[in-house]
Amino acid sequence: MKKILVLCTGNSCRSQIAEGYLRHFGGDRAEIYSAGIEAHGVNPKAVQVMAEDHIDISGHTSNHVDDYASINFDAVITVCDNANEACPAFPAKADRYHQSFPDPAKATGTPEEVMNEFRKVRDVIKAYSAEIISNLTNNTKR
């Protein structure tokens, strides 16, 4: 079983959404964790847009990357440039992947425009998560 960490700046939106989808698509083939360089709390709008797609992340917690220092990850996925640049060193075993997504928490406009930005980012992360979990869990090199 692969151990995968999704890393973002605040572990509030993008990494939480990715964790939800990676768990969904990975099933029992992977253990999924998410963390941030900081821990800002799970954004309620992320919870809401995931619920719209029938994925419940309401029980997720916002964690600091140091909380998982003792876990030997197979893969670390950074989902924002800041986390990619500030990502701590992990054991050589951990493969690194990076895909930067816009931060929906920075969206401005009407409440509906903000939610639409969350949905847009959610959908892009969903597609990426489906692809990467398939690649990571079907890889027989490990």
At 54-101, the pLDDT tens digits run 999 999 999 998 899 889 999 999 998 777 676 666 655 889 899 999
For residue 28, what are its two tokens?
A: 């029992």
pLDDT tens digits along 94-141: 898 999 999 999 999 999 999 999 999 999 999 999 999 999 988 644
Q: Please answer whether residues 36 and 7 qualify as being in contact, where contact means their C-beta atoms are separated by less than 8 angstroms.
A: yes
Q: What is the pTM of this model?
A: 0.91
Q: Does domain 2-138 have CATH number 3.40.50.970?
A: no
Q: Please answer whether residues 84 and 104 qualify as being in contact, where contact means their C-beta atoms are separated by less than 8 angstroms.
A: no
For residue 142, what are its two tokens?
A: 């490990």
Handedness of CA 41, 112, 104, 125 (dihedral sign): positive
Domain spans of the chain, in order of start:
2-138
Q: Is residue 80 flagged as an active site residue?
A: yes
Average predicted confidence (pLDDT) for the chain: 90
- Which residue type, as a one-letter code, is found at position 27? G
Q: Which of 55, 76, 80, 133 is catalytic?
A: 80
The closest alpha carbon to 62, from 85, 44, 86, belongs to: 44
The closest alpha carbon to 124, from 97, 101, 105, 103, belongs to: 101
Q: Is residue 87 flagged as an active site residue?
A: yes
Other C-beta atoms within 10 Å of 141: how many? 4
Q: Which of 4, 5, 6, 8 is catalytic?
A: 8
Residue 45 has pLDDT above 60, yes or no: yes
Q: Is residue 8 flagged as an active site residue?
A: yes
pLDDT (0 to 100) of residue 61 = 94
pLDDT (0 to 100) of residue 141 = 45
Instruction: Give the SS3 label for residue 24.
Output: helix
Residue 114's φ and ψ, nearest 5 degrees, are -65, -45
Q: Which of 87, 114, 124, 130 is catalytic?
A: 87
